[in-house]
Structure 1
Amino acid sequence: MKKHLGAVGALSKQYWQYLACKVWQEGCEEEEEEEEEEKEPSPGPGWSLPLVGQDYLEILSTWYCSFGKCCKTGDCRIVNNITGLEADLNGQLHGQHLAKEVIIRAVQGFLQSPQSQKALVLSFHGWSGTGKNFVARMLASHLYRDGLKSECVRVFISLFHFPHHKYVDSYKAQLKKQISETVQLCKQSLFIFDEAEKLHFGLLDAIKPFMARYDDKGKVDYRRSIFLFLSNLGGNTINEVALDFWRAGRAREEISMEFLCHFSDEASEGIFVLFFATENGYARSHLLNENLIDFFVPFLPLEYHHVKLCARDAFLARGLPYTEAALDEVARMMVFVPKEEKLFSAQGCKSVSQRINYFLP
């Protein structure tokens, strides 16, 4: 028995040393010297890595990487799981057929492009609670192993990170520094700007070079970066379109991007331009006229049955049983507008997860 245990211990030590050498380059020289000096056979015939299988090494490497970095940059923890992203968008993002279509097409096309000319810039528009932040988190979790905690991801909340306009020059310097340092660490970086309509136009101007077409003279290449802008502006106009479809007896799934763009001059302005509208129009002229925004993503208002689906997901996420009656009760707790039709949830699905606390034993 002792003899067998000794052989197993020697074998485990051998593979651990091999793993240490291959994953974080420790003990490689010692191993080579021992092989040269001893030239002894391994413990047992055929005990080589191919027999055990390269898959085991990859599994152990992944296990080690779950505790820390595998490389000097964050790039080794980029996963770009488009299949998983599409599955989660289809299964968990309710009532947003336009957003699903645009996001998958935009992100997949960008990641598969061998040589992008500029960073990918997406602008999310819609009422609060319709899924803008939810999708941003989902993107982070499927593009990076560590999700929002990844060193490749930076989240900026306008009123939290840049609250005082009198310090805008300081904010500009800090923001440019953080973006530059993140891209140097990870060529494929993700930058999320929440409450984007409240960004000072000076900050928008400061980040403009990072979103523009690549200049070979620059020292850092930003072409593999992704910028997300999340805004409530345009939500009222998007809701008017959805309400008109409902009043006409048409399904919301019939709403197309083309229809939104040509709904009216007001819609064109309200949905796609309001985010950049400032008192002096400076940001609008610099960011829209230079075509820095690649895709505008509208988020439609959520109806009663969408809220029920959100409630179901909240119950499942917490491992709690639910009934149709419970889902209806959660949905009835929400406020619905307009006053006459009471069609759309005023808060979308926001606060739904908190409301199921009423059903805890």
Structure 2
Amino acid sequence: MARGAALPLLLCCLGPLLGGSAGRRRAPLGRAVSDWREDGEEAASRQPQGWSLPLVGLDYLEILSSWYCSFGMCCEPGDCRIANNITGLELDLNRRLHGQHLAKEVILRAVRGFLETPQPENALSLSFHGWSGTGKSFVARMIADHLYQDGLKSECVKVFISLFHFPHPKYVDLYKAHLKKQISETAQLCKQSLFIFDETEKLHSGLLDAIKPYLGHSDSINEVDYRRSIFLFLSNIGGNIINEVTLDFWRAGRAREEITMEYLEQHLRRQLRESADGGFTHNHLLEENFIDFFVPFLPMEYSHVKLCVRDAFLARSLPYTEDTLDEVVRMMVFVPKEEQLFSAQGCKSVSQRINYFLP
């Protein structure tokens, strides 16, 4: 059989084993779609609601995958689903993430260092903090897009939104069992898995405790190795202190780019310890230093929002002028009342606002 004909046949054979990735597509998340699109990305639009991923025939799947990779169609780790395009991630962050010099630096260093480590001691855990619309979910999607061939649609990537997936505290024990099962099965299916938890401040502390074992230094849990997994926690907690520090620098006549990670992190950690919002701040993940890096997202100024508006026009191949960009930005609300410096919504809903200026 010719090589070109063999590969499609193999993919057809693998479809049923891949737990629904071909031929059994489940309905997309309802609320998850709107939440993740508000920052200008499609994000969780095809993330399935179901919990289980069948593990039947995993040994055979590994054999077939190895045979498929013998054709030279797989990337360096030997898994066709993994891209690990750090260069692309860096370029995308520089081109599309505006006003976030600290987030760019920390994320690139953390992810690059983790992927280049032959045998990590534990999973990588990053906690994103800042106001809504500053780019947290936007960057989470970038990471998924550049580390996996199918981005957020990859079976190696799971997105959990607190109030969508875990809405009722009385069912926390059931949620814990489902969450553990989902993490375990995904890590079994993909040696390098990505787990994204949005609205972490609204996540029950019991669920956070359930995640803790996967972030430790254990070689394996029930014969599954999680040390190649990445956990992203997205939260609005800490946004106020991040904004205060940024505003203080502006009032002192200093550029926001002068804010260092060392200076801001000590303020952020203190607010996280003192915050009364949600279980995250008083959970063992924070108290026992299970978070590798706290990533601050600074508030968006006029110039940054204007760049977001420009990107929205370009993404839709729409013509624009500088005056049009300014008109869109002026539709946004800026705070504090006196300075009118930061966009209260960040870049959220920018793509919807440009509809007012279409012919």
Mark yes or no: TM-score above 0.5: yes
1:275 deviates by: 7.5
Runs (5+) with no aligned partner, structure 2: 12-67
The residue type paired with residue 205 of structure 1 is D
Larger radius of gyration: 1
Distance in 2 of aligned mates of 1:338 and 1:245: 14
SS in 1 for 2:237: coil
TM-superposed deviation, 1:77? 1.3
Aligned residue number for residue 23 of structure 2? none
Which residue in the other structure is 1:225 paired with? 229
Partner of residue 125, structure 1? 129
Correspondence for 1:140? 144
1:192 correspondence with 2:202: no
Distance in structure 1 (CA, Å) of the matches to 2:145 and 2:274: 29
1:243 aligns with 2:244: no
**Cα 1:278–1:356, aligned 2, differ >3 Å: closer, same or farther?**
closer
Q: Distance in 2 between matches of 1:252 and 1:337?
A: 16
Correspondence 1:284 to 2:277: no
State the alpha-carbon separation in 2 of the partners of residues 326 and 25 from structure 1.
51
Matched residue SS, 2:79: helix
Matched, 1:154 2:155: no
**Equivalence for 1:305:** 303
- Kept in 1, the 8 Å contact 2:209–2:283? The answer is no
2:4 is equivalent to residue 19 of structure 1: yes
User: What CA distance in whole angstroms lies between the structure 2 residues aligned with 1:76 and 1:237?
Assistant: 42
- Runs of 4 or more, structure 1, over 4 Å off, are 21-26, 274-279
Give the distance between the partners of 2:334 and 2:283, measured in 1 at CA: 37
Deviation at 1:360, TM superposition (A): 1.1
Please state if 1:348 is matched with 2:352.
no
* Aligned match of 1:107: 111
Kept in 1: contact 2:98–2:308 (CA 8 A):
yes
Cα contact 1:99–1:298 (8 A) shared by 2: yes
Letter in 1 for 2:269: S
C-alpha distance in structure 1 between counterparts of 2:295 and 2:94, whole Å: 16
Pairwise CA distance, 1:278? 5.0
State how far apart, in whole Å, the 2-side matches of 1:219 and 1:274 are. Answer: 38
One-letter amino acid matched to 1:358? Y
Partner residue, 2:270: 269
Aligned to 1:323: 321
The two structures have a TM-score, normalised by structure 1, of 0.78
Structure 2 Cα separation of the partners of residues 171 and 285 of structure 1: 17
Q: Distance in 1 between matches of 2:221 and 2:137?
A: 35
Q: Distance in 1 between matches of 2:80 and 2:276?
A: 35
Which amino acid in the other structure matches residue 255 of structure 1? I
CA distance 1:84–1:217, shift in 2 (3 Å)? closer
Segments of 5+ residues of structure 1 without an aligned counterpart are 1-15, 27-56
Amino acid at match of 1:268: R
- TM-score in terms of structure 2 length: 0.78
Deviation at 1:103, TM superposition (A): 0.2
1:146-192, Cα deviation, whole Å (9 max, x unpaired): 11000000000000000000000000000000000000000100000
Q: Cα RMSD over matched residues?
A: 2.6
The sequence identity of aligned pairs, in percent, is 73
On the 8 A contact 1:311/1:330 being kept in 2, the answer is yes
Question: 1:324, 1:86 → 2: CA distance?
Answer: 27
Range with greater deviation from structure 2 (315-324 or 283-292): 283-292
Name the aligned partner's letter for residue 348 of structure 2. K
